[in-house]
A = this chain, B = another copy of it.
């Protein structure tokens, strides 16, 4: 087990009806807030009205900014920074999923920085200060509600880059599973894929001695599979299944499951460019890339360590019975069942499924390795990244 520091100060407020606590929780921190959302469903569903009501009831004044898009754009971040500065706001409240939350985090960084906020994403500067961020989560997927990360797309490239800073970990996050009943199935499935990927990225590690984290990762993946299937086979309003997915989403990406281990993250780096170049959902991109990554790693690095790692994944997560398979066959069967699961919940698992061509592979490869090789389990250089795109596009 590797040494680690762990500290997670976000206050999680979980359960039916907790959205009504938004105003009171904000008032503990700030009376002047930026209310950030995507527009659309949060407005039509009446959710935003409920939130505004609780803000007003707690004497919290707000300025609204809407129109955040999936794969959130730097231009919207700049808009928010200007508003936050001009109005002297001290808290950015994100109502939405990962895109809205990541935009809120970027605004929080940029509003108190003299230079260009892209400096942080371009790794030219380290953040030293930020406004407070808080969230009301409507899409369980990114886990940004309890993480230190933010991913933004600079449309001038397109360049999709991320920043990690303890300064932008939300002060509080409200998780009301009822808000997720009305998600379209496709979006639910993208979220489930993203959650699963966050756990799997941490699970695939060279660290052989992190048993408690292994157990937690395996248990969390099983929980996501069981409850994801339940929701997407018709139980859209199942409070308990929605609750498990929502809680798993937060746990998957708040770094608890990284304790004592270094995860891989290659698939995420490779996917980010896919969704930046083709504007597909991040979860859908992961459904295409992650099985291709697994297939590539298993076929390229045929060491006992790697075969046993995937065989363990197959056994513990997918129930592949070790009595009927040798380790290599079990490893392959696990990847096969993972892909089958993704297809069963309506995800694409190839470029073709997603209607994507191969013409931009060169440009994507260049962006993936822009700051050097990616991935920790095996180090992926540009030729490896290309081969993974090739696997994903040849299926």
Contacts and interface: CB of A to CB of B under 8 A. Distances in A.
Interface stretch (A10-18, A44-52, A64-72, A97-105): A10-18
Interface string A231-250: 00000000110011001100
A319 interface: no
Contacts of A5: 11-14
Given A6-B14, A7-B10, A12-B6, A219 B223 contact: no
Contacts of A216: 215-216, 219-220
A395 interface: no
Contact of A212 (B13, B212, B251): B251
Query: Most chain-B Cβ atoms within 10 A of its Cβ — which of A9, A220, A243?
Result: A243
How many monomers of this chain does the complex have? Answer: 2
A97 B188 CA distance: 45
A209 interface: yes
A259 interface: yes
A12 B226 CA distance: 32
A313 to B, nearest CB: 15
Given A6-B11, A211-B244, 17 more contacts: A1-B240, A1-B243, A2-B15, A3-B16, A3-B18, A4-B15, A5-B13, A7-B10, A14-B260, A211-B227, A212-B219, A212-B223, A212-B244, A212-B248, A218-B219, A247-B259, A247-B260
Contacts of A244: 1, 209, 211-212
A292 to B, nearest CB: 28
Contacts of A376: none
Contacts of A219: 212, 215-216, 218-219
B9 A4 contact: no
A340 interface: no
6 contacts: A3-B16, A6-B12, A212-B220, A215-B219, A216-B216, A243-B260
Interface of A: 1-18, 209, 211-212, 215-216, 218-220, 222-223, 226-227, 239-240, 243-244, 247-248, 251, 256, 259-260
Nearest to A238: B209
Contact of A8 (B1, B8, B13, B209): B8
> 7 tightest A-B contacts by CB?
A3-B15, A215-B219, A209-B240, A7-B11, A1-B243, A6-B12, A212-B223
A196 to B, nearest CB: 13
Nearest to A172: B7
A6 B174 CA distance: 11
B209 A215 contact: no
Contacts of A2: 15
A285 B2 CA distance: 33
Given A8-B8, A260-B14, A215 B211 contact: no
Contacts of A10: 7
Nearest to A12: B6
Contacts of A16: 3
Contacts of A247: 1, 212, 259-260
A199 to B, nearest CB: 11
A248 B240 CA distance: 27
A78 to B, nearest CB: 32
A372 to B, nearest CB: 27
A240 B261 CA distance: 12
B4 A14 contact: yes
Among A3, A11, A15, max chain B CB count under 10 A is at A3
Contacts of A251: 212
B3 A12 contact: no
A10 B11 CA distance: 13
A222 B239 CA distance: 29
Quick one: which of A6, A16, A222, A239 has the most chain B CB within 10 A?
Answer: A6
